[in-house]
């Protein structure tokens, strides 16, 4: 009896060890996934340098610097007079503080541990760190829905999905970097609460939602998606107390917390984006009440009560809905913000708000961009949806709903591809893990059968002839497979089991399996190989995207030529010049794209910046740029502008320069000041700056500042972006003087010439003449006088 | 020079270094300067540092350098132990460095460096500043002393006009005295000013003045009384880069892991004539040496050999325009600021590099000392304020500094990577630093190598404690209420899991017994040994009985437990299936044994048990999948 006792103990121990081993293995895998997520985003640092990227990150960086220098209370009260001159901007109340506070906290923590990292370094690496967190959150979320395997798969896929990389490479210090983590983590906590019905997780969920509200305006996605899911659960008859616990605390606590964030404030209860959640909240309570009453009453009584309640309830509902509709209708935008409206109606922006339409990331995406950003995941998603329905649980229905809404939103705005990415990763992870599960399982059975066949071939002489014939046909394949098969084994665990089985399973000629779906051996091996190849393609694509497509910081450009790498560092050259060689209080005018960079790198006051909150102000700058020199000088002078900065790519062929953006300046300027008319700048509907261009175009300030003395570079004035010679080659500037042009001419800075002394009488005469001649238009021409 | 003074203060711009030989303590008349040749080197006015060598030599630029060659004779009766050298105050305040070398006797022999100090002899005019060179041994009567004095002046070349356009060349003014200003009578003297070439706008006409090529010579004048002064002015073209560093902070951080890290922060301006009007890139690019002749676009730094990890950046990131050459003697770094510097423009940047510890830190008499140059490695740069911070490793004690010239010194504490008490920092500050100050200085300190391990050990301890805390957290019961329903439920759930695991173990044993039976059957078919087969059967029966006995209490527990409602049906199913399988197996076994006893043909046996075999296989698979399912819970 001692012997079986011992063996049973061993078996027990083996099981526990196997569990522990699995736990350690998956923990280790997760760690590696985190490392992968972090390190794949370091291409930008290795290929370029540790520097903040693009435009918005510079603003965030500047705010973080302010925070780390002045502390949190100063930060809330910060009125920034370096921007939107002369209006200024209340930073503390208009910024989503999540990212800034996160990086500021990390910096503070490190410094109090005497690890002297600069604020810049912390900012640069915030995004990669949070992508590691995001992939772990994905693991948790997927695990709640479909188990550990799917979780690991989804986490690995998310760690390197190009769409997310594009927003979170090292240096891309933008809200999305932390917001995606917050989004996934909030979803995880919601699903976790839904699965466990624990109030603890519900509270955590509200806190996580608060973090998301702090971080990104995209929090409205959460507060609409979760109610949708709750509604779905109720409609499909899946109401439970767990659902109630998952939702009700989130709405109450979440809304209270959200209202604490200054930039949201009372919007949390007053704008239409949040109404859905309250509506569902009411419905949920009604349903809860119904379920409660159902438990109290007998079925017959319940029916009676039901009709009563429904009739009364409908009446109340109508009343409430009517009030809501009236409230919403009374506000001009129907209570929706412009960006949200353009989400619901994709054509809204281009019709009414050119400033939103002018941003490239607010355009609808093209098909190639789907392939670029989520690659093979696009093909795996349908499989993922199917496996979510087998069987459908609360969690998996949430995944499907998330995916469907995210696909819609990504179709409206390129930028929201980012929201789609986690959904795509989760569903692809589920799909892949299910497929691998099926394939390896059938492989296991088939393989054990094969082993068994060969082992029993010697003793069982009496095998049926049909068996042996099939055996012989298989034998060639078998040799290959016995070599390749062990490699495909996902873990040692399986191999061990399979060995046990190979020893123990008796001869079984029957091919029929009752419960398990078993595929033929060749098919499963092929399937696994194909999946590995597919995954390989995905990895290769992701690495390429991370290394080549998404790592450029955009303030430093490089080009590879025969002589080697050529660096175009003109932007920083110009900003450094501004910061060292102009007066601290000088005002610099440029198109709004460069506002954040100018304030952050050059530390000079700008007129407009990327926050674009005041359309009129931007239109004023647009008008000045599209006006002739004298009018422009007057506008700029009235704004106290001392320097005008333009970006010009014609010499080196940098396409996103001001001339190419110029039509937007005309449009936005014309939207507010009607004397700027777009057709004046177009020849037969075509935008051009060559000899065919309209005189208005050739005389506007932007043209002149860009092409001043350009002809002297090659004698012809050949513009390498537009690909033709410019229209007006030789001209002088009367009201501006060139003070700095960078090495590759990419940034040109001009100074407003001081006003000339004039005889008093002459001045008066001029003024009155101007007034009488340009009547109405002059009145609106310059809003600041 | 960075902020050119008003035009009328031209006198102050004049950089002169004069060396006067004076014998004796009191009787200044006892000393006679037999010959004074001053050479103001405006070639070394490559930069704006004026260097004057008076055998008397003077070198000058916005630094000037003068060499004075002076021959001093003691005509008095008493031996003289010091020689006085005098400058007007306006020059003296621009004096950056003065050095004297003396040789006694007519023949050029071994020259010795003479210590120099500021003195104020009684009765001397207050407009003059006196320096006294102390002789190693008193100068006897009638003996002649050769004295070479090198003086370096800053801010002595004034741009005039003060503002120029991009295309214009930069003109500067230099003022000096044609006569050698000295408290002693001078028998014969001359002044030579070497100009950088190029245009000479004007110079003070004087009978003895001669301009040959780019060398302007005054003298030789004979028999001048003490304190004779004859102002001269030269106005000439000088397009050498007037690189002035407003402030340089040089941080030298010693790590005994093997590195000396040097970080230098520069604030550089072009100290020459200011740019007026436009800066046109097209002019600058098409004819850089004509349009933009007064600007400079690069600086050269000579770093020590084996410098590594060199970087060059400013507050907004890396600056990609730099070149590096290195060989065994030196490392040469050519840096270009982001933009060319025209007059009045300024920029900031940081250069950093690492050096080998053993090249700069040495050990003697129980003390370590750092031996490194004081000034910046940049060539021809005038530093208006240099702050050198030597960061010693944490735990250094008994810090002493020895510098070759007076500096302002104090100590600070810096907190860096994981420091607890902080690293002691020795700060040295000196105004008007020129390349001549690039001398070695030493910082002595005591440091115990054990302290090196402090930080790694701290990290190890930290992580160890973290893991211990994790383990403790996982192993301890942290629940507050031991009687709450959820806690009890958790306890029960744990027990259920344990039970389920035990059950699983039993079932696996069962399966093992099945296998044994199978094996016995196979043996039977091979050997035909019915007896052993029967024995195996008996053993198996016994084992099955034993196992089912063991199983019973577990099952009853599981059934009674409220937590097992999820698992129980599965377990039940498992049990029934297993029973069924056991039965089938037994019947098959008996059938086979039976048929062997009846000596039936193999084919017949196969036929008889074929159906059973199929069922058994199917059952076995079900049992196994159930087991797997349970183990996954």
Task: Write the CB contacts of A290 (distance below 8 Å, at least 6 apart in sequence).
Answer: A306, A309
Q: Which of A7, A8, A576 sits opposite B338 (nearest CB)?
A: A576
CA distance B317 to B350: 10
Q: Which two tokens stand for residue A639?
A: 């704004």
pLDDT tens digit sequence for B131-186: 888 877 777 777 777 777 888 887 778 888 888 888 888 888 888 887 877 777 77
Say which DSSP state B330 is in. -
Q: Given this model, what pLDDT does residue B182 score?
A: 78
User: Is pLDDT above 50 for A300?
Assistant: yes
Interior angle at CA A279, CA A274 and CA A280, nearest 5: 100
B361 pLDDT higher than 80: yes
Per residue in A114-128, pLDDT (tens digit) is 888 899 999 999 999
Instruction: From chain A, pick out residues whose CB is under 8 angstroms from the CB of B631.
Output: 15
Q: What integer pLDDT is reported at residue B22 of this predicted model?
A: 33
What tokens were used for B578? Answer: 């297993």
pLDDT value, residue A760: 60
SS in 3 state form for A256-293? Answer: HHHCCCCCCCCHHHHCHHHHHHHHHHHHHHHHHHHHHH
| Predicted confidence (pLDDT) per residue in A591-642, tens digit | 988 989 999 998 899 998 888 788 888 899 999 999 998 889 989 999 889 9
Between residues B485 and A711, the one the model is more confident about:
A711
**pLDDT greater than 90 at residue A136:** yes
> Interface pTM (ipTM) of the complex?
0.76
The answer to whether the Cα torsion of A437, A442, A447, A448 is positive or negative is: positive
Inter-chain residue contact B339 with A740, CB threshold 8 Å: yes
Give the pLDDT band (50/70/90) at residue A334.
low
Hey, of B295, B504, B505, which one would you mutate to test binding to chain A, going by the most A CBs within 10 A of its CB? B505
What is the per-residue pLDDT for A119? 92
**Residue B59 pLDDT:** 31
pLDDT of residue B35: 76
Cβ contacts of A116 on chain B, cutoff 8 Å = 415-417
pLDDT the model gives residue A492: 42
Sign of the torsion angle spanned by Cα atoms B611, B612, B616, B622: positive
Cα separations (Å) of B353 from A50, A118, B302?
A: 18, 18, 12
Give the DSSP per-residue string, A664-686. Answer: HHHHHHHHH-TTS-GGGGEETTE
Q: What number is the average pLDDT over the span B289-295? A: 74
pLDDT tens figures, A224-272? 999 999 999 999 888 888 899 999 999 999 999 999 998 888 888 888 7
Nearest to B347 by CA among B387, B312, B375: B312
Report the pLDDT value the prediction gives residue A455, as an integer from 0 to 100: 52
Please state, in angstroms and rounded to a whole number, the distance separating the CA atoms of residues A624 and A676. 10
A138, pLDDT greater than 90: yes
Q: Where in chain A are the domains?
A: 567-752
Mutate to test the interface with B, among A16, A506, A570 (most CBs of B within 10 A): A506
Domains within chain B, CATH numbers bracketed: 31-56+65-237 (2.60.40), 243-449 (2.60.40.1730), 485-632 (1.20.120)
Per CB-CB distance under 8 Å, the chain B contacts of A58 are none
B321-325 average pLDDT score: 85
B contacts of A509 (beta carbons < 8 Å): 614
pLDDT in tens, A500-530: 444 444 434 443 434 456 778 888 889 899 9
Contact B316 A12 (CB under 8 A): no
Output the DSSP codes for B181-240.
--SS-EEEEEEEEE--SS-EEEE---TT-EEETTEEEEEEEEEEPTT---EEEEEEE--S
**Cβ separation of A741 and B314 shorter than 8 Å?**
no
- Among A93-102, A439-448, A533-542, B451-460, the range scoring the smallest mean pLDDT is A439-448
Closest by CA position to B202, among listed B173, B170, B231, B239: B173
More confident position, A246 or B39: A246
Chain B closest-CA separation from residue A420 CA (Å): 32
Of B501, B547, B617, the CB nearest to A510: B617
In this prediction, residue A758 carries a pLDDT of 65
> Is residue B16 pLDDT above 90, yes or no?
no
Looking at residue A421, what is its pLDDT? 92
Nearest residue of chain A to residue B499 (CA atoms)? A12
Count of CB atoms situated within 10 Å of the CB of A716: 11
Section B305-313 average pLDDT: 89
Beta bridge partners of B129: B87
Q: What is the pLDDT of residue A321?
A: 86
CB within 8 Å of B187: residues ≥ 6 apart: B32, B33, B34, B35, B222, B223
Return the structure tokens found at B187.
């028998």
Over range B118-143, report the average pLDDT.
Answer: 77
The region, left, alpha or beta by phi > 0 then psi within -120 to 50, assigned to residue A74 is alpha
Between CA B184 and CA B81 the distance in angstroms is 15
Look at residue B8 and tell me whether its pLDDT is greater than 70. no
Over range B352-379, report the average pLDDT: 89
Looking at chain B, the whole-number percentage of residues with pLDDT higher than 90 is: 11
Inter-chain contact A12–B505, Cβ cutoff 8 Å? yes
For A178-182, A491-495, B85-89, which range has the lowest pLDDT when averaged over its residues?
A491-495
Provide the pLDDT confidence category of residue A31 given band limits of 50, 70 and 90: very high
Q: What is the mean pLDDT of residues B320-328?
A: 84
CA distances, B78 to each of B24, B33, B117, B132, B133 (Å): 7, 16, 22, 18, 17
According to the model, what pLDDT value does residue A454 have?
56
B25 pLDDT more than 50: no
Tell me what the pLDDT averaged over chain A comes to: 81
pLDDT at A3: 42
Give me the helix-helix angle, B602-632 and B568-597, nearest 10°.
Answer: 160
CA distance B118 to A201: 79
Cβ within 8 Å, pair B278-A712: no
Q: Report pLDDT for B583.
A: 82
Q: What is the rounded average pLDDT of the residues A434-451?
A: 82
Contacts of residue B509 in chain A, CB cutoff 8 Å? 4, 7-8, 11
* Partner-chain contact A462 B606, CB within 8 Å: yes
Chain B residues in contact with A556 by the CB 8 A cut-off are 317, 320
Helix (H) or strand (E) holding B150: strand B144-154
pLDDT tens-digit series, residues B180-231:
777 777 778 888 887 777 788 888 888 778 887 777 888 777 778 878 888 8
Mapped onto helix, strand or coil, the DSSP state of residue A748 is strand
Q: What is the pLDDT of residues A81-110, one digit of tens each?
A: 888 888 888 888 889 999 999 999 999 999
pLDDT tops 80 at residue B78: no
User: Which of B547, B617, B625 minimises the CB distance to A515?
Assistant: B625
For β-strands A557-561 and A89-90, DSSP reports them as: unpaired
- Contact by Cβ (8 Å): B83, B33: no
Supply A452's token pair.
């068994």
**Which of A196, A442, A504 best tests the B interface by mutation, with the highest count of B CBs <10 A?**
A504
**A interface mutation test: which of B317, B500, B508 has the most A CBs within 10 A?**
B317
Q: According to the model, what pLDDT value does residue B68 have? A: 61
Does residue B11 have a pLDDT over 70?
A: no
Residue A111 in this model has a pLDDT that exceeds 80: yes
Contacts across the A-B interface (CB distance below 8 Å): 137
Decide which of B596 and A195 is more confident.
A195
Nearest to B159 by CA among B344, B297, B346: B344
- pLDDT band for position A131 (cuts 50, 70, 90): very high
Give the separation between CA A29 and CA A437, rounded to whole angstroms.
18
Which residue in B255, B261, B278, B345 has the most chain A C-beta atoms within 10 A of its own C-beta, making it the best mutation to test that interface?
B278
pLDDT at A398: 92
- The pLDDT of A314-321, averaged and rounded, is 88
Give the DSSP H or E segment for A123: helix A119-146
Q: Which residue in chain A has the smallest CA separation from B619?
A: A514
How many angstroms separate the CA of residue A599 from the nearest CA in chain B?
12
In contact, B267 and B165? CB cutoff 8 Å: no
Rounded Cα–Cα distance for residues A48 and B427 (Å): 35
Q: Do the Cβ atoms of B162 and B7 come closer than 8 Å?
A: yes
Q: Which has the closest alpha carbon to B602: B587, B614, B592?
A: B592
Q: Are A690 and A724 in contact (CB under 8 A)?
A: yes
Task: List CB contacts (< 8 A) between A462 and chain B.
Answer: 602-603, 606
Question: Which residue among B419, B543, B616 places its CB closest to the CB of A114?
Answer: B419
Does the structure show a pLDDT above 50 at B348? yes
Decide which of B487 and B73 is more confident.
Answer: B487
pLDDT at B137: 74
CB contact under 8 A, A116 and B314: no
Cα–Cα dist A516/A762, whole Å: 99
Q: Top-level CATH class of A567-752?
A: alpha beta
């Amino acid at each position: 009896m001692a012997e079986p006792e011992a063996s049973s103990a061993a078996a027990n121990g083996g099981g526990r060890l196997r569990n522990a081993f699995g736990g350690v293995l998956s923990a280790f895998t997760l760690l590696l996934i985190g490392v992968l997520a972090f390190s794949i985003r370091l291409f930008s640092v290795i290929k370029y340098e540790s520097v903040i990227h693009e435009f918005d990150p510079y603003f965030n960086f500047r705010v973080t610097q302010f925070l780390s220098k002045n502390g949190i209370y100063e930060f809330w009260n910060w009125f920034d007079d370096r921007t939107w001159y002369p209006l200024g901007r209340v930073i503390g109340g208009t910024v989503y503080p999540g990212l800034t506070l996160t990086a500021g906290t990390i910096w503070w923590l490190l410094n109090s541990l005497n690890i002297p990292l600069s604020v810049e370094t912390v900012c640069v690496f915030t995004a990669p760190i949070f992508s590691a967190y995001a992939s772990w959150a994905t693991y948790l979320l997927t695990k709640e829905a479909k188990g550990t395997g799917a979780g690991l798969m989804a986490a690995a896929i998310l760690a390197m999905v190009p769409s997310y990389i594009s927003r979170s490479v090292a240096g891309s210090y933008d809200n999305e970097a932390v917001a995606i983590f917050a989004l996934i983590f909030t979803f995880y906590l919601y699903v976790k609460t839904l699965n466990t019905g624990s109030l603890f997780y519900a509270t955590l969920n509200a806190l996580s939602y608060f973090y998301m509200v702090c971080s990104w305006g995209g929090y409205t996605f959460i507060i609409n998606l979760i109610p949708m899911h709750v509604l779905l659960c109720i409609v499909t008859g899946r109401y439970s107390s767990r659902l109630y616990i998952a939702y009700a605390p989130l709405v109450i606590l979440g809304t209270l917390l959200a209202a604490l964030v200054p930039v949201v404030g009372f919007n949390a209860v007053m704008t239409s984006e949040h109404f859905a959640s309250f509506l569902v909240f009411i419905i949920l309570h009604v349903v809860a009440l119904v379920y409660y009453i159902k438990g109290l009453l007998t079925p017959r009584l319940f029916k009676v009560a039901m009709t009563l309640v429904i009739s009364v309830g409908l009446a109340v509902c109508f009343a409430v809905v009517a009030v809501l509709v009236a409230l919403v209708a009374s506000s001009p935008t129907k209570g929706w913000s412009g960006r949200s409206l353009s989400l619901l109606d994709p054509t809204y922006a281009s019709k009414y708000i050119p400033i939103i339409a002018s941003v490239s990331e607010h355009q609808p995406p093209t098909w190639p961009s789907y392939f670029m950003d989520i690659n093979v995941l696009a093909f795996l998603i349908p499989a993922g949806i199917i496996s979510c329905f087998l069987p459908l649980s609360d969690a998996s229905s949430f995944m499907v709903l998330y995916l469907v809404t995210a696909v819609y939103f990504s179709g409206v705005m390129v930028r929201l591809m980012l929201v789609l990415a986690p959904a795509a990763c989760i569903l692809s992870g589920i799909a892949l893990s299910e497929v691998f599960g099926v394939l390896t399982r059938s492989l296991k059975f088939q393989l054990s059968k094969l082993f068994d066949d060969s082992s029993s071939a010697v003793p069982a002489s009496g095998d049926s002839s049909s068996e042996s014939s099939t055996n012989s046909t298989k034998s060639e394949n078998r040799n290959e497979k016995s070599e390749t098969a062990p490699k495909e084994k996902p873990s040692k665990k399986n191999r061990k089991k399979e060995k046990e089985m190979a020893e123990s399973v008796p001869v079984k000629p029957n091919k029929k399996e009752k419960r398990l779906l078993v595929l033929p051996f060749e098919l499963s091996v092929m399937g696994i190989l194909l999946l590995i190849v597919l995954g390989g393609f995905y990895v290769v694509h992701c690495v390429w995207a991370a290394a080549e497509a998404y790592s450029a910081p955009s303030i430093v450009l490089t080009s590879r030529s025969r002589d080697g790498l050529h660096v175009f560092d003109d932007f920083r050259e110009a900003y450094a010049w501004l910061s060292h060689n102009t007066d601290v209080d000088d005002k610099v005018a440029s198109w709004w794209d460069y506002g954040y960079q100018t304030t952050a790198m050059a530390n000079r006051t700008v007129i407009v910046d990327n926050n674009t909150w005041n359309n009129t102000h931007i239109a004023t700058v647009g008008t000045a740029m599209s006006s002739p020199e004298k009018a422009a000088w007057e506008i700029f002078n009235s704004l106290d502008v001392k320097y005008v900065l333009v970006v010009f790519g014609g010499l080196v062929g940098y396409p996103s320069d001001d001339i190419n953006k110029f039509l937007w300046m005309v449009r936005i300027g014309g939207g507010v000041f009607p004397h700027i008319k777009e057709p004046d700048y177009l020849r037969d509907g075509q935008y051009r700056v060559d000899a065919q261009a309209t005189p208005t175009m050739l005389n506007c300030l932007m043209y002149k500042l860009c092409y001043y003395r350009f002809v002297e570079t090659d004698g012809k004035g050949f513009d390498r972006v537009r690909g033709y010679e410019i229209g007006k080659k030789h001209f002088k500037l009367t009201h501006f003087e060139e003070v700095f042009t960078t090495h590759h001419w990419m940034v040109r800075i001009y100074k407003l010439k001081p006003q000339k002394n004039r005889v008093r009488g002459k001045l008066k005469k001029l003024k009155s003449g101007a007034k009488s001649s340009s009547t109405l238009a002059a009145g609106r021409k310059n809003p600041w006088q | 020079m960075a902020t050119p003074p008003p035009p009328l203060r031209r006198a102050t711009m004049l950089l002169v270094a004069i060396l006067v030989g004076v014998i004796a303590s009191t009787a200044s008349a006892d000393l006679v300067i037999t010959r004074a040749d001053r050479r103001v080197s405006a070639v070394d006015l490559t930069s704006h540092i004026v260097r004057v060598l008076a055998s008397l030599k003077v070198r000058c630029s916005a630094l000037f350098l003068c060499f004075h060659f002076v021959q001093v004779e003691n005509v008095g009766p008493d031996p003289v132990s010091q020689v006085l050298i005098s400058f007007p105050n306006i020059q003296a305040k621009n004096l950056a460095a003065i050095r004297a070398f003396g040789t006694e006797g007519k023949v050029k022999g071994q020259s010795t460096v003479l210590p120099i100090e500021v003195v104020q002899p009684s009765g001397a005019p207050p407009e003059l500043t006196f320096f006294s060179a102390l002789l190693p041994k008193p100068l006897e009567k009638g003996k002649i002393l050769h004295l070479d004095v090198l003086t370096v002046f800053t801010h002595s070349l004034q741009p005039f006009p003060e503002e120029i356009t991009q295309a214009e060349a930069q003109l500067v003014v230099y003022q000096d005295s044609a006569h050698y200003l000295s408290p002693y009578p001078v028998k014969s003297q001359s002044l030579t000013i070497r100009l950088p070439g190029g245009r000479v706008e004007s110079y003070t006409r004087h009978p003895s003045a001669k301009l040959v090529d780019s060398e302007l010579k005054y003298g030789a004048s004979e028999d001048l009384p003490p304190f004779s002064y004859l102002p001269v002015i030269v106005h000439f073209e000088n397009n050498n880069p007037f690189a002035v560093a407003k402030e340089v902070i040089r941080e030298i951080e010693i790590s005994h892991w093997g590195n000396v890290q040097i970080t230098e922060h520069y604030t550089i301006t072009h100290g020459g004539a200011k740019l007026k009007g436009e800066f046109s890139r097209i002019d600058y690019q098409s004819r850089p040496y004509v349009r933009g002749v007064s600007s400079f676009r690069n600086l050269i730094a000579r770093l020590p050999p084996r410098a590594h990890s060199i970087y060059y950046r400013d507050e907004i990131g890396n600056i990609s325009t730099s070149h590096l050459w290195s060989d065994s003697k030196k490392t040469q770094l050519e840096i270009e600021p982001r933009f060319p510097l025209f007059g009045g423009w300024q920029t900031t940047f940081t250069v950093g590099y690492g050096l080998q510890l053993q090249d700069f830190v040495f050990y003697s008499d129980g003390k370590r000392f750092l031996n490194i140059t004081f000034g910046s490695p940049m060539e021809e740069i005038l530093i208006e304020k240099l702050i050198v911070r030597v960061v010693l490793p944490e735990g250094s004690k008994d810090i002493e500094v020895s510098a070759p010239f007076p500096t302002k010194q104090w100590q600070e504490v810096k907190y860096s990577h994981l420091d607890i008490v902080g690293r002691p920092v020795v700060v040295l500050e000196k105004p008007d630093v020129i390349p001549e100050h690039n001398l070695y200085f030493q910082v002595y300190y005591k440091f115990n190598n054990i302290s090196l391990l402090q930080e790694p050990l701290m990290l190890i301890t930290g992580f160890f404690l973290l893991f211990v805390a994790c383990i403790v957290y996982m192993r301890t019961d942290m629940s507050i209420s031991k009687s709450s329903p959820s806690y009890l439920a958790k306890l029960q759930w744990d027990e259920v899991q344990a039970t389920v695991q035990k059950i699983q173990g039993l079932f696996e044993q069962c399966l093992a017994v099945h296998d044994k039976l199978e094996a016995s059957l196979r043996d039977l078919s091979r050997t035909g040994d019915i007896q052993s087969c029967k024995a195996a059967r008996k053993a198996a029966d016994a084992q099955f009985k034993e196992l089912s006995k063991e199983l019973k209490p577990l099952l009853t527990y599981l059934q009674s437990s409220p937590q097992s409602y999820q698992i129980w049906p599965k377990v039940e199913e498992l049990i029934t299936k297993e029973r069924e399988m056991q039965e089938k197996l037994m019947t098959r076994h008996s059938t086979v044994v039976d048929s062997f006893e009846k000596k039936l043909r193999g084919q017949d046996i196969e036929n008889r048990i074929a159906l059973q075999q199929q069922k058994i296989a199917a059952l076995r698979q079900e049992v196994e999948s159930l087991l797997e399912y349970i183990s996954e819970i």
